[in-house]
């Protein structure tokens, strides 16, 4: 479907849902990560109206890591109602609505999400100082979301059952191990096998259960010259150990060369733990947070393999996905280094 056909189908859908003669104007793809299908556009009823800045979010094409726009729509509704800084969502569409995929429409928030500009441009000097506190605040709000809300029914069904406090860590290991098996079909990856064995031996018990964003990192938050403007990309959200988000924030891949500041190139781990504790009243279990960082590196290596496999198999021919395959080796190096550091710390 070309952009003109997409615009026409979207306009028909919005007019039907809103009951207003709204016009879709200036529909254009938005730059983003390898799994995103998003378009920015303006919405207005008359020429005298100030245009509303909107975003169309579509299901990804087959072959990429799959997620459900309906589920993401409900998550954004719930987290917005819970005080998390997210775009407001408006309408949810189905495949039958003529856009070629499930989709939803949401507000377009100000700011950007390009990490290298955040970490290097003088324009964002204030933002760099403000973001650690902003990130801790948003994590606290996400992890405090009411898990009994009906909009989380699907996530509750997927969560591991039982009373074993280590079930969330073990469940996540199993999930990515299964994905790796599907992508690699038995191809030997000794560093990832070593990492998996270490993770299973040292899996931490969850001291509490909460909504986990699953991909909370620099690159998945919008910001302007004052600080954070929105948390985006909820495709990997699930119910689990909130410390998973804390560990993922410190994975080396999200530092963009600023390795002396493990939290997204912004600050130390200790500062994030302290800020999070102040926001939530919960002391971070340091050993568990470090375990989740090691898991995060292992998980990212698996995702790199998955994305490259999609390209190699011809399901999604995309140079960005292909390039992720070469990142696996450097993530394996970091994985082993972090395990060594963690083992040395415990002796």
Considering the domain boundaries, does residue 209 fall inside one? no
* pLDDT number for residue 67: 63
Domain membership of residue 290 (yes or no) is no
Structural domain boundaries enclosing 69: 3-107
Tell me what pLDDT residue 5 has: 93
Strands 89-93 and 228-231: unpaired
| Distance of alpha carbon 300 from alpha carbon 214, whole angstroms | 12
Rounded Cα distance between 197 and 287, Å, is: 17
Contact between 342 and 288 (Cβ < 8 Å) = no
Task: Decide if 34 is inside a domain.
Answer: yes
Question: What's residue 66's pLDDT?
Answer: 56
Q: Is the separation of the CB atoms in 251 and 220 below 8 Å?
A: no
Contact 62, 117 (CB under 8 A): no
User: Domain for residue 11, yes or no?
Assistant: yes
pLDDT of residue 34: 47
Quote the CA–CA distance of 110 and 107 in Å, as a whole number: 10
Residue 306: predicted pLDDT: 86
The CATH number linked to 88 is 3.30.200.20
Most distant CA atoms of the chain, gap in Å: 70
Report the C-alpha gap between 180 and 186 in whole angstroms: 9
The number of CA neighbours under 13 Å toward the Cβ of 313 is 15
Nearest-angstrom CA–CA distance, 235 and 67: 6
User: Per the domain annotation, does 13 fall within a domain?
Assistant: yes
337 inside domain: no
Asked, for residue 71, whether it belongs to a domain, the answer is yes
Distances (CA, A) of 326 to 184, 190, 236, 248, 304: 15, 16, 23, 21, 8
- pLDDT tens for the chain, 347 residues: list them: 789 999 999 999 999 999 999 999 999 998 754 445 889 999 999 888 899 999 999 987 654 445 678 889 999 999 999 999 999 999 999 989 999 889 999 999 999 999 999 999 999 999 999 999 999 999 999 999 999 999 999 999 999 999 999 999 999 999 999 999 888 767 788 999 999 999 999 999 999 999 999 999 999 999 999 999 999 989 899 999 999 999 999 999 999 999 999 999 999 999 999 999 999 999 999 999 999 999 999 999 999 888 877 656 566 656 666 667 778 889 999 999 999 999 998 77
How many helical (H) and strand (E) elements, i.e. helices and strands, does the chain have?
Answer: 11, 9
* C-beta separation of 192 from 339 below 8 A: no
In a domain? residue 285: no
DSSP string computed for 57-97? EEPPPTTSPP--HHHHHHHHHHHHHTT---PPEEEEE-GGG
- The Cα 269–Cα 336 span in angstroms is 19
Residues 6 or more apart whose CB falls under 8 angstroms from that of 31 comprise none
Split into its structural domains, the chain has a count of 1
pLDDT at 68: 75
The upper half-sphere exposure of residue 303, i.e. CA atoms within 13 Å in the direction of its Cβ, equals: 17
Phi-psi region of 30 (alpha: psi -120 to 50; beta: other; left: phi over 0): beta
Task: Return the pLDDT at 63.
Answer: 45
């Amino acid at each position: 479907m070309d952009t003109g056909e997409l615009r026409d189908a979207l306009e028909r859908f919005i007019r039907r849902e809103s009951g207003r003669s709204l016009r879709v104007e200036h529909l254009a793809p938005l730059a983003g990560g390898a799994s995103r299908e998003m378009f920015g556009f303006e919405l207005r009823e008359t020429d005298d109206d100030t245009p509303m800045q909107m975003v169309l979010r579509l299901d990804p094409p087959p072959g990429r890591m799959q997620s459900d726009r309906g589920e993401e729509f409900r998550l954004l509704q719930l987290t917005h109602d819970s005080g998390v800084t997210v775009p407001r969502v408006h309408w949810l569409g189905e495949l039958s609505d003529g856009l070629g995929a499930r989709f939803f429409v949401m507000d377009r928030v100000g700011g950007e999400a390009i990490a290298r500009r955040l970490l290097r441009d003088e324009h964002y000097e204030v933002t760099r100082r403000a973001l650690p506190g902003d990130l801790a605040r948003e994590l606290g709000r996400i992890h405090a979301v009411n898990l009994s809300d009906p909009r989380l029914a699907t996530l509750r069904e997927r969560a591991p059952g039982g009373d074993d406090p280590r079930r969330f860590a073990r469940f996540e290991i199993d999930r990515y191990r299964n994905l790796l098996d599907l992508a690699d079909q038995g191809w030997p990856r000794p560093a990832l096998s070593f990492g998996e064995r270490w993770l299973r031996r040292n899996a931490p018990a969850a001291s509490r259960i909460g909504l986990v964003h699953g991909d909370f990192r620099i690159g998945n938050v919008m910001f302007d010259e004052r600080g954070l403007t929105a948390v985006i990309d909820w495709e990997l959200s699930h119910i689990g150990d909130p410390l998973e988000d804390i560990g993922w924030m410190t994975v080396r891949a999200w530092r963009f060369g600023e390795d002396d500041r493990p939290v997204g190139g912004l600050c130390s781990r200790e500062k994030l733990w302290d800020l999070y504790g102040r926001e939530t009243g919960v002391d971070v279990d340091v050993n568990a947070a470090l375990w989740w960082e090691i898991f995060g590196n292992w998980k990212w290596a698996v995702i790199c393999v998955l994305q490259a496999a999609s390209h190699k198999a011809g399901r999604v021919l995309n140079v960005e996905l292909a390039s992720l395959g070469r990142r696996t080796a450097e993530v394996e190096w970091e994985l082993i280094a972090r395990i060594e550091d963690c083992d040395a710390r415990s002796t």
